[in-house]
Amino acid sequence: MSDGLTRRTLIIGTVGLAAAACGSDDETEPGLTGSPPSSPDSTATPSDGTTTVPGAASEVELSGDPFSLGVASGEPLPDAVVLWTRLVPEPLEVDGGMPDEAVRVRWEVAIDEAFTDVVADGTAGAEARYAHSVHVDATGLDPATDYFYRFTVGDHTSPVGRTRTLPDGGRDDYRFALTTCQEFQWGEYAAWRSVAERDDLDAVVFTGDYIYESPPGDLSPDQNGRRVWATPPPATLDDFRIRYAQTKTDPSLQAAHQAVPWFVMWDDHEITDNYWRDGGGQIDPIGGDFQARRTVAYQAWWEHQPVRFAPPVDGYLDVHRVVKLGDLAQLLLIDTRQHADEPPCRDTSVLDAGVGCDERLDPERTLLGPEQEAWLLDAVAGATTDWNLLVSPSLFAGLDISGESDAEPAYYLEAWDGYPAARQRVADALRSADAESVVLSGDYHASFVLDVGPGFDDQPLCAEFMTPAISSVPFAEDHTAGNAHVRYFDPVNGYVVCTISPEECRADYVTVADVWDPASPSTEVASYRVGPGAVSYTH
């Protein structure tokens, strides 16, 4: 979505290691991680089967604490979890303050915070070509179990992170924070502090807009200078790395990463506003070769997230995936930008908002791309869990933003409203599946509860819970009056806590009082729940 003070008018503003993408470390064979297998220049595999990294930690002189961005975990499975860090003593410098050589990093996973009972450990390579990021797939773990992890390099030890494996089979419930949109310049991260301080979460799900491409500017009410991008709008790999690093310097964001494992998806601002398969938004102030920008943007995203993927190749990285939360639910994480057709009706729309046109209704149009769509329809139909949870990086249910009951309907055309035939195919699959459906979404910069259909279907299919932005400016324009399927709307900052059980899917809406106060209290302001069967809310 265009991120301006109103949504419509203003913009401010490593492989082949698919299976071993994050390395193959286990207790018996420490190995390199995060690096393509075809990299003899930076790795060597001696005949004894171990992997060595040129430039062992003891040989590399570091200019300061290399763990300035903290640690993170993600993509838990019942027996594994990805551990992440990046060695970067000077996060806002082009080279991060690191030498141009690989560094060996030690990692440990323990039952206890004091690391007296270590259950997995090894070494991993932090390569200069991947900004000395480290991705370890720690395996051999037990399901639904808490673990602590840390990294060491030379005399430096990282902060300790806590993580939790997924349940395997039956479980009473599973609870995660649904989150989105954390523009660094638009506010402090009190919402992340609130997430970190909770003791009831199994995970965080982030739907996208981790960084933004906005130009630097001090938007704080007291002009305190604390939240200003260090670089112009990013175009190069160095630019994108510095954006991620600057965002990750925030202690509350680090605390949220260190509290629970994350499932991270991307949206548009990880490259540029409203981008699609081959280009940017109607106005792309950065310009240049879009494919080149996408290539470096995807690499920087990969370098900075705790994900179980090989590094992107030539600007492509399939990130859609399904996560099975025991027998309770499957999370269907989809990518609505990389493979999308161009938003329709650009002759008449402004920042991809406006009335429809024939192009919008073309049944051939795709938001997910043919391969991802086929994958999604299969995954939805094949659910063996109680719930199908579709995690959409943008609004799924749709919204008439014309503002007048007798006006021609208008839409945000870069979201699902610009691709109604594709949306109907997904909705039909959700309706046909044995599992109960709920849509969980982000991007809009407001809290919503909506019925999915009618509007594009005869009767409500399921509920959609839209989480508000962590810090990005809320969009206050209230379209409730013209949209009978909107059950709740609140333009605030905060997050949603989702609790899944066989009996219900509950969404608790948590609001930050003052987005410019890093110590701002957070309050639960609304709670909606749906059970199996017809869409019916209690709150």
Closest to Fe ion by CB, 68 vs 180, is: 180
8 Å CB contact between 185 and 246: no
DSSP 8-state class, residue 469: B
Closest to Ca ion by CB, 268 vs 342, is: 268
Count how many Cα atoms sit within 13 Å of the Cα of residue 500 in the half-sphere of its side chain.
30
Closest to Fe ion by CB, 333 vs 473, is: 473
Count how many Cα atoms sit within 13 Å of the Cα of residue 56 in the half-sphere of its side chain.
5
Interacting partner of 239 out of Ca ion, Fe ion, none (Cβ under 5 to 8 A depending on kind): none
Candidate segments 206-214, 252-260, 304-312, 361-369, binder of Fe ion by CB under 5 A: 206-214
Cα distance between the two ends of the chain: 29
Closest to Fe ion by CB, 69 vs 211, is: 211
Interacting partner of 268 out of Ca ion, Fe ion, none (Cβ under 5 to 8 A depending on kind): Ca ion
User: CB 255 → Fe ion: shortest distance, Å?
Assistant: 22
User: CB 424 → Ca ion: shortest distance, Å?
Assistant: 23
Candidate segments 30-38, 205-213, 399-407, 432-440, binder of Fe ion by CB under 5 A: 205-213
Q: Is 501 in the site for Fe ion (CB under 5 A)?
A: no
DSSP 8-state class, residue 523: E
CA distances from 234 to 98, 219, 239, 283 (A): 21, 19, 5, 16
d(CA 335, CA 338): 7
8 Å CB contact between 162 and 124: no
User: CB 228 → Fe ion: shortest distance, Å?
Assistant: 18
Q: Is 437 in the site for Fe ion (CB under 5 A)?
A: no
d(CA 146, CA 135): 19
User: CB 55 → Fe ion: shortest distance, Å?
Assistant: 39
Site string for Fe ion, 164-203 (x = CB under 5 A): -----------------x----------------------
8 Å CB contact between 525 and 510: yes
8 Å CB contact between 496 and 521: no
Side chain identity at residue 509, one-letter code: Y
Q: Is 493 in the site for Fe ion (CB under 5 A)?
A: no
**Phi, psi dihedral angles at 195 (to 5 degrees):** -60, -45
8 Å CB contact between 268 and 275: yes
Closest to Fe ion by CB, 105 vs 181, is: 181
Number of residues that bind Fe ion (CB under 5 A): 3
Q: Is 209 in the site for Fe ion (CB under 5 A)?
A: yes
Q: Is 472 in the site for Fe ion (CB under 5 A)?
A: yes
d(CA 195, CA 496): 10
Q: Is 464 in the site for Fe ion (CB under 5 A)?
A: no
User: CB 13 → Ca ion: shortest distance, Å?
Assistant: 13
Interacting partner of 121 out of Ca ion, Fe ion, none (Cβ under 5 to 8 A depending on kind): none
Residue nearest to Fe ion (CB): 181
**Residues present in the chain in total:** 539
d(CA 368, CA 423): 10
Q: Is 351 in the site for Fe ion (CB under 5 A)?
A: no
User: CB 186 → Ca ion: shortest distance, Å?
Assistant: 13
Please report, for the chain, how many H helices and E strands are present, in that order: 7, 24
Interacting partner of 342 out of Ca ion, Fe ion, none (Cβ under 5 to 8 A depending on kind): none
User: CB 456 → Ca ion: shortest distance, Å?
Assistant: 21
Interacting partner of 259 out of Fe ion, Ca ion, none (Cβ under 5 to 8 A depending on kind): none
User: CB 214 → Fe ion: shortest distance, Å?
Assistant: 10
Candidate segments 115-123, 136-144, 470-478, 484-492, binder of Fe ion by CB under 5 A: 470-478
d(CA 213, CA 232): 8
User: CB 208 → Ca ion: shortest distance, Å?
Assistant: 6
Instruction: Give the binding site for Ca ion (CB under 5 A).
Output: 1, 209, 267-268, 443
d(CA 149, CA 118): 9
User: CB 280 → Fe ion: shortest distance, Å?
Assistant: 15
8 Å CB contact between 86 and 132: yes
Closest to Fe ion by CB, 171 vs 243, is: 243
Closest to Fe ion by CB, 328 vs 353, is: 353
Closest to Fe ion by CB, 147 vs 266, is: 266
Interacting partner of 472 out of Ca ion, Fe ion, none (Cβ under 5 to 8 A depending on kind): Fe ion
Closest to Ca ion by CB, 344 vs 453, is: 344
8 Å CB contact between 479 and 486: yes
User: CB 422 → Fe ion: shortest distance, Å?
Assistant: 22
**Phi, psi dihedral angles at 222 (to 5 degrees):** -105, 15
Residue 97: strand, helix, or coil: coil
8 Å CB contact between 271 and 316: no
Helices (H), 57-207: 190-197
Instruction: State the residues that interact with Fe ion by CB under 5 A.
Output: 181, 209, 472
